[in-house]
A and B are shown apart, each in its own frame.
Chain A
Amino acid sequence: MITLNLGMTIVLAVLYSVGFYLLLQRSLMRILIGIVVLGHGANLLLQLVGGPPARAPVLGTAPPELFADPLPQALALTAIVITFAMTTYLLALGYRSWVLVGHDEVQDDVEDRRIAERERPEGSMSDDTADTGTDDDEDPGSAAASSEPAATGGRR
């Protein structure tokens, strides 16, 4: 069983907490950075579980007993590649969202918003939420529901 040293544990804790904090944000860009940071955290953890620092596991450069465990390094390399690909994809998605909707905000579930609107007292309903409210009453199907995010997005 491998145990980590305190310094690295703190670094990991910071990376993970920053990553999860950013994941909880609204903007896709912040979420993207959150995923990148979280990915770094996970990859660092993978590196650390290989044991204490040692020589690079390249044949012929050092006697094999001085080598670090190569497996976690291979795993981390694969994971880095995957995280890299996902980052690119999210960037493209953010751009697409920006082109289509005008912002890259990640919005609530349609149902959630509908319930939130239903629970809001009548008097406090502002003008622009009122029209989506009536839309919902007429047609609770997804035709109205699916046009709703676009409308909300336009207003923001």
Chain B
Amino acid sequence: MTQQEQTPLTWNHWDEPEGEWMLPGECPVRTNRTLLLEMAARLLFPTVLVFSVYLLVVGHYAPGGGFAGGLVAGLAFVLRYIAGGGAEGAEIGTRLNLRPPLLVGLGLLLAVIAAFAPVAFGRPVLASAKYSADVPVLGHVDLVSSLVLDVGVYLLIIGVVLDLLRSLGSGIERDARESRP
């Protein structure tokens, strides 16, 4: 039993997934894994992301918005980080090939541009305009220009959460591993 616990358990066992399940990849030590949580994360991750986009879009007229949506999306990444065992948590964004600070910068840039954009139309800074349209399948849709600002905030928050996971999550784990004799 003790012997078995110490051997790294790789994905070559009965639970080997058909495709790649989690971005973090395999977990080196058996005790770091919970199949239940991994499964749950696998199911919840896309769901939560979709929900976060919903929050982002409805934000102008209903509870939600860029910040709330971004945090919810961030939570999805946190869940995946925890389920992934943390070993490779730093690489969480690598599939996208995006460094978290870049996401923060892009979000901030988008938000500032959205703040300045009304000036080009002769409106005051941060003013917003509403576009209504009847889309065949969706029905009546109200689009507000401040959605762009919200998208910026959304990206920024995700970037911040990913950066936190990198520096305070896997960064600390890496430090702990390196200092261990």
Which residues of A approach B to under 8 Å, CB–CB? 56, 58-60, 81, 88, 91-92, 95, 99
Contacts and interface: CB of A to CB of B under 8 A. Distances in A.
Contacts of A95: 168, 172
A92 B61 contact: no
B168 A88 contact: yes
Given A81-B67, A99-B175, A92 B62 contact: no
Interface string B88-107: 00000000000000000000
A91 B169 CA distance: 12
Nearest to B60: A59
A86 to B, nearest CB: 13
Contacts of B62: 58
Please list the 9 inter-chain residue pairs (A to B) with the smallest Cβ-Cβ separation, ordered nearest first: A92-B168, A59-B61, A58-B62, A58-B63, A88-B164, A95-B172, A81-B67, A91-B168, A99-B175
Contacts of B164: 88
B167 interface: yes
Interface string B48-64: 00000000000001110
B63 A92 contact: no
9 contacts: A58-B61, A58-B62, A58-B63, A59-B61, A81-B67, A91-B168, A92-B167, A95-B168, A99-B175
Nearest to A99: B175
A126 B103 CA distance: 55
B39 to A, nearest CB: 29
B36 to A, nearest CB: 28
A95 B174 CA distance: 14
A30 to B, nearest CB: 19
Nearest to B179: A99
Contacts of B67: 81
Interface in B106-150: none
B110 to A, nearest CB: 19
A80 to B, nearest CB: 10
Interface string B29-42: 00000000000000
B78 to A, nearest CB: 13
Nearest to B65: A77
Given A58-B61, A88-B164, A95-B172, 12 more contacts: A56-B63, A58-B62, A58-B63, A59-B61, A60-B61, A81-B67, A88-B168, A91-B168, A92-B167, A92-B168, A95-B168, A99-B175
A95 B169 CA distance: 12
A88 B157 CA distance: 14
